[in-house]
Chains A and B, each alone.
Chain A
Amino acid sequence: MRYGSAPRLKRDLTALGIVAAAYLAATTLVTNSYYQLIMTLVPIWAVFGVSWNILSGYGGQLSFGHAAFFGIGAYTVTLALVYWNLTPWLGIPLGMIVAAVAAVLIGIPTFRLRGHYFALSMLAYPLAILYFLQYFGFQEMSLPMHRENPVAFLEFTEPRWYTVVAVGVLAVGLFFSMLIENSRFGLALLAVRQNELAAEAAGINSRLWKMRALVVSGMIAAAAGGFYACVLLVVTPESVFGMLVSAQAVVVTLFGGVAAIWGPVIGAAILVPLAESLNAELGNILPGIQGVVYGVAIIAIMLASPDGLFWTLRDRFFKPKPFAPLPHDLPAPAAIAPADAGKPLLQVAGLSRSFGGLRAVNDVTFEVKSGEILGIIGPNGAGKTTLFNLLNGVLSADTGTATLAGRSMLGQKVHQVCRMGVGRTFQVVRSFPRLPLLDNVIVGAYGAGLSDSDAIAAAAHALRRVGMADLAGVAAGQLTNKQLRLMELARALAGNPRILLLDETLAGLGREECDDVLSVLERLRTEGMTVVIIEHTMHAMMRIADRFLVLDHGRVLATGLPRDVVEDRTVIEAYLGKKWLAKQDA
């Protein structure tokens, strides 16, 4: 569990108990059978929203095809009951298993895609299944009744029992959602959503977490769909695989609150009764009113409060409780003993990479000794960031070798390189604005594969190293630019790296802020950390770097002590041009 999650979990579980009890109490007062049906549908669509929220809300992998899993649940229950006489009590779990298999089969190819390509492809799955079902003649299936022993087949004469089961399913779904939010699972998903590359560089295996999210999400959706079939007693491909079903999950979650436990519940509680009663009152004259209401609702919510009702209300009316201060007795994590200072740690030889005809990195050779700070300078487009991307596995090299303490870094995935002991920061800082600083840093510790308690200790230690331990409980959205830079540094340190690759850490900082960050880096060096830093600010580089590596047009132009390098004629030429040099000589 994440640090400080116990009180939050307790609070959410209490709320769940109260809401469920109140809802069930309200059910006893409703006598109209149509309203009883609506009372049953609200939790079902809420569960479906909860499932979508795990993949698309926390994980940011927008799925427009969640009806695939909902429909698989519904059809598995129906077909198992019709052909094998299998009770839905077992049919629903069976549907969840089928959905889990489907999730893996869908995930393997589809997670190769990102962004809108992923969203569009997910749309195609339920529609393709829909056409196949129509072709194989499963247009309209009704669930056979079992009069002799109805309860054993999840059939009730008293409609309120359906509501009870629905609330039970919702409670289980919410419980899993809470577990995910409060564990490394949720944090990994948030990191992937924020910036997949940065998450990978922090050691998170994004593909694996996304796949886990899809499987869990698909199973919960299938449970919702399976029970939906039991309530309605008739399923058609359109009613469980259709576009409006997928939209339902998106709509209730977005409306209620993305990446919030209670978001789908709030959304379903407001929108489902609204749409259903409009449908009942006006359905005859205005047959599509439900879809219109949903369409208006998501457009309005997207323009007015893009994160949903929950977050807007919370930001406006509820100040988050102050964060429990960091305990001071946390054991310092066992540091990797710094390799003997002065011995080569990172060795790069003949590294090249071309994009079409452009040689972005061309036969680059250098080494970094343990405990030194190597500054990489060069004009824009010299290949500095590309070099980092080659070293930490974002790009693959055409030729050449790169080894860290004798082990090859090339050919590994980004998160694997991180686990070898390479920490990296990026030009653009991405934080989780609503999460406290400590959680932002813990991502790096989880990435290194630490257990919960070790991760908290490592993150706290990293915050102390950059001098921000006092701010551990502050939401990242309230930090200054300098503090965000230091936060990123702490995130990289939390994984206990042997070497740090820093990409323009000082960009956009004022002189004094710059000095603060530099003193942190100097302190790290005295602690034996090895650093490679890309930076344009010359005075900062002169102060901090032990040696310079100058790149121009992908080639190494010069290496050596800072003083020698800045006097080098070829370097001056690369920066200031031949004319300037000639004038200088004259």
Chain B
Amino acid sequence: MRGGTGKPVDLEVLIENVLNAVAAGLTIGCIYGLMCIGLGLIFGIMRIVNFAQGELLMLGMFTSLYLVTGGGVLAFLGPYIGPFVGALLAGPIIFAGGALLHKFLIARVSGLRTTGTLDEGHFGQLIVTLGISLILQNGGLIVFGSTPMTVRTPLSSKALEIGPLYGDATVFLNKARLIACGVAIVTAVVLYLLLEYTRLGKSLRAAADNPTAATYMGINVDKAYRVAFGLGSAITAIAGGLMATYLSFGPFVGIDYVIIMYSGVVLGGMGSILGAFWGGLTVGFVQQCSALFLPPQLQNAAIFVVFLMIVLLRPQGLFGRSAERA
């Protein structure tokens, strides 16, 4: 069958490429999903247009890097477990940062203060978070330098082989990505349970949904907002820490991902945590599959085009109802 015609070999290569793109799309997509949940909390539910979400992702990456490598406190865990614990620990650290950011800056241009004002204060939010984004990007350049970094783990150069499935076509699953994907799914599930079933989660959702009514119900809306914003920051930062294990990054990495995050959240439908995850997964999947026929430089451009298509054609999201009213 496999004689000298060459044609079946091409088919094998094609099948192998497609299968690997699908596998990469699913694993990376889950991590994108987690990343989008963070923005989903802040933009989808609290309706704060946070321009600096990409920089929170970047901070998660660097936090994890400094925890794990060099003389970091987690260096003793070794290169196998360390990077993933580091990613998870970036969560609480960025949570504190996000909560402070909200207390001192974001709260002044969002929430009860702007309810009912001209365009609900979106102008102010866009400007203030653009400022935060500029400070973090360029401050990051000063503090972290411009050399591309990565959280090194031997796992990123090892792959789990499945197959051969068809002829020689084999699926290679990068182990670092696979574990990162697993951690992302677990984190997302824990967060979902937390929001759905605990008192804290209910008060957060109530405050975000209708701040005025929540105030009357005795919920401390200011605190709830702070916690929710911190949580949204932390979740994106954890995703950043996980991505840092297989990706080289610098202080300006956020700008590429902020668009991906908004695509995911809008695609998933505003206001839904699960939707944000599915949205992120879809975007990651599309991005990886576009690698089959697009050169690497154009993959990011493809994401922007997809984003524009989504907001233009289906601003209500694939999975949600329209949240915008005239």
Contacts and interface: CB of A to CB of B under 8 A. Distances in A.
Interface in B116-138: 118-119, 122-128, 130-138
A60 B127 CA distance: 13
B259 interface: yes
A116 interface: yes
B304 A128 contact: yes
A110 B312 CA distance: 7
B248 interface: no
A381 B142 CA distance: 57
Contacts of A507: none
A292 B136 CA distance: 8
Interface stretch (A20-28, A299-307, A397-405, A548-556): A299-307
Contact of A289 (B108, B136, B138): B138
B157 interface: no
Contacts of A297: 131
Interface in B16-38: none
Interface string A111-154: 01111110111011101100110110000000000000000000
A113 B251 CA distance: 31
The residue in A125, A128, A254, A394 that gathers the most chain B C-beta atoms within 10 A of its C-beta is A128
A197 B259 CA distance: 29
B141 interface: yes
A287 interface: yes
Interface string B281-318: 00000000000000101101100110110011001000
B124 A302 contact: yes
Interface residues of A, number: 48
Nearest to A297: B131
Interface string A238-254: 00000110010010001
Interface in A284-300: 286-292, 294-299
A58 interface: no
Interface in A172-221: 194, 197
Contacts of A298: 127-128, 130-131, 134
Contact of A116 (B49, B255, B307, B312): B49
B109 A302 contact: yes
B137 A291 contact: yes
B326 A135 contact: no
Contacts of A286: 142
A127 B132 CA distance: 20
A135 B140 contact: no
A62 interface: yes
A292 B259 contact: no
Contacts of B141: 287-288, 291
Contacts of B108: 303
A197 B118 CA distance: 13
B220 interface: no
Contact of A303 (B123, B128, B297, B324): B128
B134 A116 contact: no
B259 A123 contact: yes
A64 interface: yes
A290 B140 CA distance: 13
B146 interface: yes
B304 A127 contact: yes
Contacts of A125: 304
A297 B134 CA distance: 10
Given A299-B105, A306-B124, A243 B255 contact: yes
B105 A124 contact: no
B205 to A, nearest CB: 21
A119 B126 contact: yes
Contacts of B326: 197, 394-395
B131 A299 contact: yes
B135 A120 contact: no
B297 A134 contact: yes
A116 B126 contact: yes
Nearest to A430: B118
Contacts of A115: 119, 122
Contacts of B137: 243, 288, 291
Given A288-B251, A302-B109, A303-B108, A294 B127 contact: no
B318 to A, nearest CB: 16
B135 A250 contact: no
B8 interface: no
Interface string A246-272: 010010001000000000000000000
A136 B301 CA distance: 13
B134 A295 contact: yes
The residue in B134, B137, B315 that gathers the most chain A C-beta atoms within 10 A of its C-beta is B134
Contact of A250 (B130, B139, B308): B130
Contact of B307 (A124, A291, A292): A124
A161 B130 CA distance: 35
Contacts of A135: 295, 297-298, 301
8 contacts: A64-B51, A110-B312, A116-B126, A128-B301, A131-B300, A244-B134, A247-B130, A306-B124
Q: Which 7 A-B pairs have CB atoms at the shortest separation, nearest pair first?
A: A288-B138, A291-B138, A295-B134, A288-B141, A295-B135, A131-B301, A299-B131
Interface of B: 49, 51, 105, 108-109, 118-119, 122-128, 130-142, 146, 251, 255, 259, 262, 266, 295, 297-298, 300-301, 304-305, 307-308, 311-312, 315, 324, 326
Given A128-B304, A291-B135, A298-B128, 4 more contacts: A116-B126, A131-B301, A295-B136, A299-B135
